[in-house]
Amino acid sequence: MCGIIGLVSKREVSSTLLEGLKRLEYRGYDSSGIATINNKKIERVRSKGNLSFLEEKLANISLPGKIGIGHTRWATHGSPEEKNAHPHITNKVAVVHNGIIENNNQLRNQLIEAGVKFSSDTDTEVVCHIITSYINSGLNAYDSIRATMNDVKGSYAFGVLILNEPDKLFAVRGGSPLAIGSARNENFIGSDTYSLSAYSDNITYLKDGDVAVIENDSFRVFDYSNSSVKREKQSIIESVSLSEKGIFKHFMSKEIHEQPEVIAKSLSNYIDMDKGVLNIPSLPYDFSTITNVTLVACGSSYYAGLIARDWFEKFTNVKVDVEIASEFRYREPPMVSNGLTIFISQSGETADTLAALKHCKSRGQKTISIVNVGDSSMCRDSDASLKIYAGPEIGVASTKAFTCQLVVLACLAIKIGTSNGSLSKEQEKEYVKSLLSIPRLISNTLDKEDEIIDLAHDLSNITTTLYLGRGQMYPVAMEGALKLKEISYVHAEGYPAGEMKHGPIALLEKDLPIFMIAPSNSLYEKTVSNLYEVIARDASVILLTDNEGLHNIGLIKNKIKTFLVDETDIISAPFVYTLPNQLIAYHIALLKGTDVDQPRNLAKSVTVE
């Protein structure tokens, strides 16, 4: 993912910005650049490729100035060429950006119609021109930035320089992390703790909707309502290393909160952001000939496969089977010739899944692995491999890897559907647009974590529970139950809501907590009828739904607990409804004092049978 660094100081900044970019290299990038304001002019140096090329240029081109921004770019909109490297500038504004602007094409077309000439293919340059247009209309720097944020839609973080305010650095957070590090006579901005920890012993994380106005000896933060706010200044432990927890108490918490960023990064590897269509790396198959798909995995990865089954069935019209690897490998079922088998695994080393892969290869199946660890056995043993780009997942309980698996599975289902004619180009664009909205939707849910913390307190004595859902929300329910049981040791079961009356309803008793997952979709009414069955037996319901779902539930909403998420569709619902369950499990485990990152009896990768 992209990395942002910025500095406003009493000293020259370019060499420190270059060093700061080196601390961002671990995030992965394909170009970089720095811009400063000096003598009433915005100066910029950029380079394609490794940072060493930028360093070489800076050795020959001085970049004076006591205020500047730097960026390492992971190409999303536009190829990894120097012309697309950040910072993007006009004669009055310089911008660096991390994230996705969903309405980029619409805004770009409006600017072109207004006579703006673009020099890059990026969404970031669009933002640069919009801020400039507001400046030209007479707005001051802060108001121009705020007005621009009202125009753009997506998940983003920006560092901004504005020529007519040469002593102020501006930082904007809208879904992607951005923080301020204060030091003597200077202030930094950075994408993460690690990038700031060499320069500052404290960190102030911005919140979504914040715009910070930063000078060399102070800074002010304004929230989405333009109210001046105080964000908590926390200490940074210098020893923070790449995979350390940073300001988070556990890796699991860090990884839950990384999801807007890593999902955006995963998306950028499978979607052409300019055209709003898929851009899947070439695979050695003619997908138009695929007649049967088998998804094989364990644990959370298996639940990802169950969720994806809806996508494969609806988008490809191909027969889909989803198998638990440890059952599949010993059942050794007959396989349809020329079938495609997909192995889903965060570690790429799960013994049962590897054994299933071996069985499928012996039956002449086409094999694709979807993994997080690139140089894993599953990668090597399958015909082709698709990485999920979740970054290192340290917590044993899978969170960001699970949602990034869903990204790749959704893209693969769309790809097969367009290849065999089951999906039109318009449908592909519609589903891709929905995928691109996911970082923002997940970020919105993360912003409501305080509500989950309150809910967890109410459930702190929970000993057993059920998670109920229909359609894709059934595997979402199973994944939510798995998260709770594996880190808090509470017995939890995910069950099809429609199956309650076939037995589990006997478990219901007064005050037994039951999680019900019900987006306002075609199965909502049916799920609500199950909710009534649950309430009629005095169990206590926690309903995960959206505004429409809450509105339609009627007066019983006063008898249940609810947690609301954004409106969703077949693409975004599994992501958005997984988030509250991850947070609920985490905060209940926190209250129970279990070892959240290394739960008892569990390993991150089960390399034995």
User: In the set 16, 200, 216, 346, which binds ligand AGP (CB under 6 A)?
Assistant: 346
Choice from 122, 269, 347, 568 touching ligand AGP (CB under 6 A): 347
Cα torsion through 484, 486, 491, 493, rounded to 10: 70
570 interacts with ligand AGP by CB under 6 A? no
Stretch of residues binding ligand AGP (CB under 6 A), selected from 394-402, 459-467, 505-513, 526-534:
394-402
Q: How far is the CB of 450 from ligand AGP (least distance, A)?
A: 24
Which listed residue (120, 148, 268, 350) binds ligand AGP by CB under 6 A? 350
Neighbour-count burial for 258-268, b at 16+ CB within 10 Å, e otherwise:
bbbbbbbbbbb
Residues 430 and 418: their CA atoms lie apart, in Å, by 13
Give the Cα separation of 432 and 95 in Å (integer).
26
Peptide bond into 580 cis (omega under 30): no
Pick 46 or 329: Cβ nearer ligand AGP: 329
Count helices and strands in the chain by DSSP H and E runs: 20, 27
Marked catalytic residue, from 2, 379, 404, 411:
2
The one segment of 229-237, 260-268, 396-404, 499-507 that binds ligand AGP by CB under 6 A: 396-404
Q: Is 301 in the site for ligand AGP (CB under 6 A)?
A: yes
Residue 466, Ramachandran bin (φ over 0: left; ψ between -120 and 50: alpha; else beta): beta
Would you count residue 144 as binding ligand AGP (CB under 6 A)? no
379 part of the active site: no
Question: Least separation, in Å, of the C-beta of 296 and ligand AGP?
Answer: 10
Binding of ligand AGP by 120 (CB under 6 A): no
Note whether 340 and 366 are within 8 A (CB): yes
Q: Which of 180, 264, 397, 596 binds ligand AGP (CB under 6 A)?
A: 397
244-283 positions binding ligand AGP, by CB under 6 A = none
- In 3-state terms, what secondary structure has residue 367? strand
CA separation for the pair 415, 436 (Å, rounded): 16
**Residue (95 or 390) nearer to ligand AGP, CB:** 390
Is the CB of 218 or the CB of 601 nearer to ligand AGP? 601
Nearer to ligand AGP by Cβ, of 422 and 605: the residue is 605
341 binds ligand AGP (CB under 6 A): no
Nearer to ligand AGP, 301 or 530 (CB): 301
594 binds ligand AGP (CB under 6 A): no
Binding positions for ligand AGP, 474-503, rule CB under 6 A: 486
User: What span, in angstroms and rounded, lies between the C-alpha atoms of 562 and 550?
Assistant: 8
Choice from 100, 206, 396, 528 touching ligand AGP (CB under 6 A): 396
CA distances from 557 to 436, 456, 540, 580 (A): 32, 19, 12, 19
Record the tokens describing residue 437, joined without a space: 């909205």
CB 27 within 8 A of CB 3: yes
- As beta bridge partners, residue 550 has none
Q: Report the site for ligand AGP in 428-467 (rule: CB under 6 A).
A: none
Our CB check for ligand AGP shows the closer of 107 and 390 to be 390
Are 596 and 252 in contact, with CB atoms under 8 Å apart? Answer: yes
385 is a contact residue toward ligand AGP (CB under 6 A): no
> Of 353 and 465, which CB lies nearer to ligand AGP in the complex structure?
353
Angle ∠(350,353,359) on CA atoms, nearest 5: 140
Q: Position 218: which residue type?
A: S
Residue 300 is a binding residue for ligand AGP (CB under 6 A): yes
Distance CA 200, CA 179 (A): 11
Closest distance of CB 561 from ligand AGP, Å: 25
Which listed residue (195, 353, 385, 437) binds ligand AGP by CB under 6 A?
A: 353
Closest-approach residue to ligand AGP (CB): 299
- Both tokens assigned to 97: 């950006």
Buried b / exposed e over 177-194, threshold 16 CB at 10 Å, is bbbbbbeeebbbbbbbbb
Specify the stretch interacting with ligand AGP by CB under 6 A; choose among 262-270, 346-354, 501-509, 568-576.
346-354
3-state DSSP assignment of residue 412: helix
Residues near 127 by beta carbon (within 8 Å), at least 6 away in sequence: 88, 95, 97, 101, 148, 152, 158
Nearer Cβ to ligand AGP, position 204 or 259? 259
Least distance between ligand AGP and beta carbon 602 (Å): 6
Q: Does 605 bind ligand AGP (CB under 6 A)?
A: yes
Q: Is 2 a catalytic residue?
A: yes
Q: Which amino acid is at 529?
A: S
- Binding residues for ligand AGP, rule: CB under 6 A, are 298-301, 345-347, 350, 353, 396-398, 486, 605-606
Catalytic residues: 2, 604
